[in-house]
Chain A
Amino acid sequence: MDDSTLQPATEATVPVVKLDQAVAVLGHFPALAGASLLVQRGEIVLLRGPNGAGKTTLLRVCAGLVPIIRGEGSVLGLDLKTDREAVRSNVGMLGHQNGLYLDLTVAENIRFWGATVGATESETSAAMERLGVADRLAEIPVRKLSAGQKRRTALACLVARRAQLWLLDEPHAGLDAAARDELDVTLRAAAGAGATIVVASHELERAGSLATRAVDVVAGQVNGGEQ
């Protein structure tokens, strides 16, 4: 692709996420009302806060999906105001929706997502193995899966993509205990391999043990986000 003149910064000194008084609106509602957040490479940051506090919007802003209309922001050194497209290919996001094709099987979904970003067949298979969707589940249409199985499939798609920044919105929701442990192992491994993770979660003890740092998102702002 020819639009890749903008490269993400790889030096450890450049913060992975840097938001300064960022404002983002959904329609006319200011979901982010001046949020500041600084995330360094290799961190696992937990976003705490009540529903409607702006956690999801914060993640979508970091993914380059929602523009910031006031304030400043950058991800991996790429400006969120001008280079949103360049930001996207370097982040992986798992939101409320899984981004799966419900009529296709698990394997077809993961292969499709892997192929669009140029992952090899073995990388795709490895991702499926790691999330435990390689055997019994592989040939079942996603529509027939449980919520937890869908989420595991979506995570496998994310693993296949090798993103530098992972943005996870309530990743533990709907997973059974074994799947949660599996998820935590996957996330720690990803962080160990150099990925930076921002997690929004209600399940504080679970996500808290995973995270290296926790911040509170309240009323569209981040308390203690810049430490």
Chain B
Amino acid sequence: MTTTDSNPASVEVDPSGRFAGTGTRGTRILGSMTVVAMVWLVAFGLGFSPADRDQDEAVRIMYVHVPTIWVAYMSFVVTAVASGFYLFGRSKALGWDRLAGASAEIGTIFVAATLVVGSLWGRLTWGVFWQWDARLTTTALLFVTYIGYLAVRRLGGSHQQRARRSAVVGLLAVLLIPLVHWSVRLWRSLHQEATVLDTDGDIDMDGLMLFSLFVGVVAFTLFYIWLVLHRTRVMAMEDMMDDRGLDLALASRRAEVVPTQKLEEN
């Protein structure tokens, strides 16, 4: 098969030439680690860690809320970096494009989770589902922006066209985020200051709470990596299917010769 796409080497192919799946030894180990970390998170988040003085039991939502938004931001950074590597790299390797796409898809889902979990927390703590403050509003716009990015990915065309177009849109989104954040910050800010990062060195969270949060971040990061690995491999397979579909389409296109020639003979 001569294609512009270098075939994804990471996909397991069994001897008969069919795909065995997207799992490898590496992802299975990673998956097991994710499960273990998630069990730890449940144990620490719901069991060992204490309730908060002010927020009471609602504080436990933080152990999911903070890791999901962390993963979401990380995945958009990965999308941007991968888009940059695709656009400015010499090889124009579609692997970068698939990484960007997979990361954006997963990031979008995590932003959605963040918004849902966050508004539940808001209802418990603030008494309302939604506050028009800087961070919430930025996150909501981020969500819509990446839905747009994913729509652009589905516009069609060849794989290289898709890759180039979406890499450009992916980088434009990065231009947009600081501007959105700046504008809504200027507009209003009611959100509580970032609890962990913004304090001047002295952390006011209980040690066990902090550890639970840490477990959450580790668990969700592992989960993200596991998802990205599988998703990029599925995308690689889809691209291969497209190429295979193209082979079939080419064959049937070339076969059109026969009836036409018969027509000409008649």
Contacts and interface: CB of A to CB of B under 8 A. Distances in A.
Among A27, A34, A70: residue with most chain B CB under 10 A: A70
Interface stretch (A86-94, A114-122, A187-195, A218-226): A218-226
Given A30-B246, A50-B260, A69-B4, A219 B253 contact: yes
Contacts of B261: 218
A126 interface: no
A30 B160 CA distance: 16
A221 B158 contact: no
A214 B246 CA distance: 29
B255 interface: yes
A136 interface: no
B202 interface: no
A27 B254 contact: no
Contacts of A198: none
B156 A219 contact: no
Contacts of B161: 67
B4 A70 contact: yes
A184 B4 CA distance: 40
Interface string A6-44: 000000000000000001010111100110000000000
The size class of the interface chain B forms with chain A is 20 to 34
A25 B158 contact: yes
B110 to A, nearest CB: 31
Contacts of A25: 157-158, 246
Contact of A23 (B157, B160, B250): B250
Interface string B195-235: 00000000000000000000000000000000000000000
B249 A29 contact: yes
A70 B249 contact: no
A220 B260 contact: no
Interface residues of A, number: 17
A221 B254 contact: yes
Contacts of A221: 254, 257
B255 A219 contact: yes
Nearest to B242: A28
A21 to B, nearest CB: 9
B193 interface: no
A219 B260 contact: yes
B246 to A, nearest CB: 6
Contact of A218 (B157, B246, B250, B257): B257
B257 A69 contact: no
B158 A219 contact: no
Given A70-B4, A219-B256, A27 B249 contact: no
Given A67-B161, A69-B158, A70-B3, A28 B249 contact: yes
Which residue among A27, A29, A33 has the maximum number of chain B CB atoms within 10 Å of its CB? A33
B122 to A, nearest CB: 45
B2 interface: yes
B249 A218 contact: no
Contacts of B156: 27-28
Interface in B1-31: 2-4
Contacts of B246: 23, 25, 28, 30
Interface in A49-83: 50, 53, 67, 69-70
Given A27-B157, A67-B160, A219 B249 contact: no
Given A34-B250, A34-B254, 17 more contacts: A25-B157, A25-B158, A25-B246, A27-B156, A30-B246, A30-B249, A33-B250, A33-B253, A50-B260, A67-B158, A67-B160, A69-B3, A69-B160, A218-B260, A218-B261, A219-B253, A219-B255
12 contacts: A23-B250, A25-B246, A29-B249, A30-B246, A30-B249, A33-B254, A50-B260, A67-B158, A69-B4, A219-B255, A220-B250, A220-B253
Query: 3 nearest interchain CB pairs?
Result: A219-B256, A33-B253, A219-B257
Interface of A: 23, 25, 27-30, 33-34, 50, 53, 67, 69-70, 218-221
Interface of B: 2-4, 156-158, 160-161, 242, 245-246, 249-250, 253-257, 260-261
